[in-house]
Amino acid sequence: MNSKTPCTEIDLERGLRESGIREELVQACKVLYAVKAAGDGLGGHLSFRLDEKRILIKPRPVSWRGLKPEDLIVIDGNGKRVDGAAGERSAVREWPIHAQIYAARPDVQCVLHAHPSASTLMAALGIAVEPLDQDCAAFAGRLPMLDNGAVSIATPELGDEVARVLGKGGAVLLKNHGSIVAGADVAYVCVTAYRLEKVAETMLRAATLTKLPVMSPETSAAILQAREAVEPGAGSKMNQERWQMMRDYYL
Ligand SMILES: [Zn+2]
């Protein structure tokens, strides 16, 4: 009898944790859609690593705005649904983006893949981010791009390629396709995805007003050097604050 008690408590704790994660992912989907970081809302997915074997993910047929906690599905590292009817794998066609990043990056708990219009166009035009403002400075020189002929990332091999190009970073662009943001928590992913789309809008606007690059290599280098000096103070706490503000504005 006693041996069952801890198990029940662990199950309860696990259930509470999972329902909290489901709730936060639903909030994230609504906010990401509202700030256009989820593109037109017709493609893409947001996921969270529940444990070594299970990934909680938004399936494609459910809208980013109308999603409910129970609409999220659980898949394993092979893209197979493990919490319900089999045969619904096609609902998350590009599952290898998530599975292969989680496999390669133990520090990553949350992954977003979407087709936001400004980021996608910036990548298609091959525009490199310049440190025109503080948001741009956060991405300049840290935004790799994968050019794989715009194929869907529907195999583990293609997912591995994404993880390789992402490296230790937090975002990667897919040329003629979209973007991926990966990080330690939902706050990081939402804040980074929001800033990335804003940065892309800034760069595209700059491209309509002047010839790129706007800045001299010396000016860029000086700003990026200053960035390295101040950044250790930022990080997780700031993302949590910003994520709370985003929920405040958009939920
Ligand atoms: Zn896609």
Distance 220 CA to ligand 1 centre (A): 32
- Upstream peptide bond of 106 is cis (omega within 30 degrees of 0): no
Residue 135 included in any domain? yes
Q: How far apart are CA 80 and CA 68, in angstroms?
A: 21
**Ligand 1 mean position to 177 CA, how many Å?**
6
20 in any annotated domain = yes
**Phi, psi torsion values for 188, nearest 5 degrees:** -60, -45
d(CA 229, ligand 1 centre) in Å? 35
Distance 197 CA to ligand 1 centre (A): 16
Q: Say how many domains are in the chain.
A: 1
CA of 79 to the centre of ligand 1 (A): 15
Measure 66 CA to ligand 1 centroid, in angstroms: 20
- Residue 226 sits in which domain range? 12-250
Distance 151 CA to ligand 1 centre (A): 8
Query: CA 103, CA 120: separation in Å to the nearest integer?
Result: 26
On whether residue 4 sits in a domain, the answer given is no
**Model-level pTM greater than 0.85?**
yes
Q: Tell me, what's the pLDDT at 1?
A: 45
Tell me if 5 is assigned to some domain.
Answer: no
What pLDDT, on the 0 to 100 scale, is given for residue 236?
A: 84
Q: Determine how β-strand 171-174 pairs with β-strand 178-183.
A: antiparallel
Distance 154 CA to ligand 1 centre (A): 9
Taking the chain (251 residues) in runs of 10, the rounded mean pLDDT of each run is 64 89 98 96 95 93 93 93 73 93 98 97 97 95 96 96 97 98 97 98 98 96 84 75 97 96
CA of 223 to the centre of ligand 1 (A): 33
CATH number reported for the structural domain that contains residue 193 in this entry: 3.40.225.10
> At 75, phi and psi to the nearest 5?
-120, 165
pLDDT at 11: 86
- What is the distance in A from the centroid of ligand 1 to the CA of 145? 14
On whether residue 162 sits in a domain, the answer given is yes
Whole-angstrom distance, CA of residue 237 vs CA of residue 239: 5
First to last CA, the chain: 45
Ligand 1 center from residue 45 Cα (angstroms):
8
Which residues fall within 8 angstroms of residue 56, CB to CB, at 6 or more apart? 18, 21, 22, 25, 47, 48, 49, 50, 72, 73, 74
Has residue 6 been placed in a domain? no
Q: Within a domain: residue 7?
A: no
Residue 55: name the closest of 85, 88, 77, 26 by CA: 77
Give a yes or no: residue 142 inside a domain: yes
Task: Tell me the CA–centroid distance for residue 178 and ligand 1, in Å.
Answer: 6
Q: How far is the CA of 115 from the centre of ligand 1 (A)?
A: 6
Q: Return the pLDDT at 229.
A: 73
Q: Is 87 left (phi over 0), alpha (psi -120 to 50) or beta?
A: left
